[in-house]
């Protein structure tokens, strides 16, 4: 099959596709030129990540397409139902990036409770003249151990996060629409295993009980956390969103931060990507990353090889 990896693919994924006899095109084609390129090259498989959008115009105008693949979990940038209605296969790799995203959440949490996101902004500006003042300002951090982590959305990523947090000594609770409780097994580096349970609560109870909230919902376009939900959270709690831009009302979040009700927030995803609101970017209470939760070498290797396997399975049908 002729495959266009428009947003790139890992070397391991490329090697796996080529070893199976597929023709791989790694040209980066601009969105407005994509239809012409696909038709000119008779592309059968279009692989994307979050940058390229596959809407009804491409689906209707490109009869050679048989498969649309998303390297990652969310498929907000693909008109999935319409594509399947037209007989196309739509695939993604929901398990490949779970560990990477979970570690990103813990990185944000660890940074926020020790003010790393703020001190890293201030040290280059004032570290040589205000060292002692900065030491005093950022010297009242807290530990994660013993603090309750509330996870909203308890799929693969939420469960991977729970395992890491449990290993750090954090009690973990969750809210998951499909029910619970959940029994997980934590495997340590020496092969030992420990089984533990995570109780499923209402969203409201998780917001009220947790010291830290992490969002891992799959739906797009739904504001899960607004002013009312932020108001339910403990005073001094922290919140992290690595799921979908818009899951948190950014205006309400900034208000909660400015009032001091929320101690800190971390965002890897934004309402207006790739041009996040300046007010969000400039707020010192927000720890920021540019939608890189799944962007590790290991995750991209898994994504590439998993896509290659799925394409092979479809091609052999």
Give tens-digit pLDDT for 227-267.
999 999 999 999 999 999 999 999 999 999 999 999 999 99
Task: Tell me if domain 2-93+297-315 and domain 98-288 are identical in fold.
Answer: yes
CA pair distance 240, 264, nearest whole angstrom: 9
Which pLDDT does position 94 carry in this prediction?
A: 87
Is position 117 annotated as part of the catalytic site? no
pLDDT band of 222, cuts 50, 70, 90? confident
CATH of domain 98-288: 3.40.50.720
Cα distance between residue 56 and residue 58, in whole Å: 5
156 part of the active site: no
pTM over 0.85: yes
Question: Residue 127 has what pLDDT?
Answer: 97
Catalytic residue (one of 229, 291, 302, 306): 291
Residue spans per domain, the chain: 2-93+297-315, 98-288
> Which listed residue (244, 250, 302, 306) is catalytic?
244
Are 279 and 247 in contact by the 8 Å Cβ rule? The answer is no
Cα(138)–Cα(133) distance, integer angstroms: 9
Instruction: Catalytic residue, from 126, 273, 298, 313: name it.
Output: 273
CA atoms within 13 Å, Cβ hemisphere of 60: 4
The rounded mean pLDDT for the chain is 95
Cis peptide before 296, with omega less than 30 degrees from 0?
Answer: no
pLDDT at 221: 62
- 2-93+297-315 CATH choice from 3.40.1030.10, 2.40.10.10, 3.90.1150.10, 3.40.50.720: 3.40.50.720
213, 122, 103, 121: which is closest to 168 by C-alpha? 103
What residue has token string 């790739």?
274
With residue 186 as reference, give the H or E element that holds it: strand 182-187
- With a pLDDT cut of 90, the percent of the chain lying above it is 92
- Quote the CA–CA distance of 234 and 223 in Å, as a whole number: 20
Asked if 72 contacts 92 with a C-beta cutoff of 8 angstroms, the reply is: yes
């Amino acid at each position: 099959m002729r495959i266009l990896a428009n947003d790139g693919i890992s070397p391991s994924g490329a090697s796996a596709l080529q070893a199976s006899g597929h023709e791989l095109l790694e040209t980066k084609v601009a969105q407005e030129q994509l239809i012409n390129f696909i038709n000119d090259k008779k592309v059968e498989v279009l692989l994307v990540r979050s940058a390229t959008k596959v809407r009804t115009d491409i689906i209707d105008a490109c009869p050679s397409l048989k498969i649309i693949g998303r390297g990652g979990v969310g498929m907000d940038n693909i008109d999935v139902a319409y594509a399947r209605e037209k007989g196309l296969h739509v695939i993604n790799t929901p398990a490949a990036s779970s560990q990477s995203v979970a570690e990103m959440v813990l990185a944000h949490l660890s940074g926020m409770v020790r003010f790393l996101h703020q001190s890293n902004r201030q040290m280059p500006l004032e570290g040589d003249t205000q060292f002692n003042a900065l030491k005093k300002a950022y010297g009242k951090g807290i530990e994660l151990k013993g603090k309750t982590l509330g996870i909203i959305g308890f799929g693969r990523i939420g469960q991977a996060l729970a395992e890491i947090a449990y290993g750090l000594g954090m009690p973990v609770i969750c809210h998951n629409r499909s029910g619970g409780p959940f029994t997980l097994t934590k495997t340590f580096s020496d092969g030992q295993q420990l089984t533990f349970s995570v109780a499923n609560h209402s969203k409201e109870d998780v917001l009220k009980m947790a010291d830290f909230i992490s969002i891992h919902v799959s739906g797009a376009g739904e504001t899960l956390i607004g002013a009312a939900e932020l108001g339910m959270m403990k005073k001094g709690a922290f919140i992290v969103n690595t799921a979908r831009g818009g899951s948190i009302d950014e205006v309400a979040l900034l208000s909660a931060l400015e009032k001091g009700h929320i101690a800190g927030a971390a965002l890897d995803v934004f309402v207006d990507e790739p041009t996040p609101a300046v007010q969000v970017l400039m707020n010192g209470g927000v720890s920021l990353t540019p939608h890189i939760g799944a962007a590790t070498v290991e995750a991209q290797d898994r994504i590439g090889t998993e896509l290659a396997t799925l394409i092979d399975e479809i091609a052999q049908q």
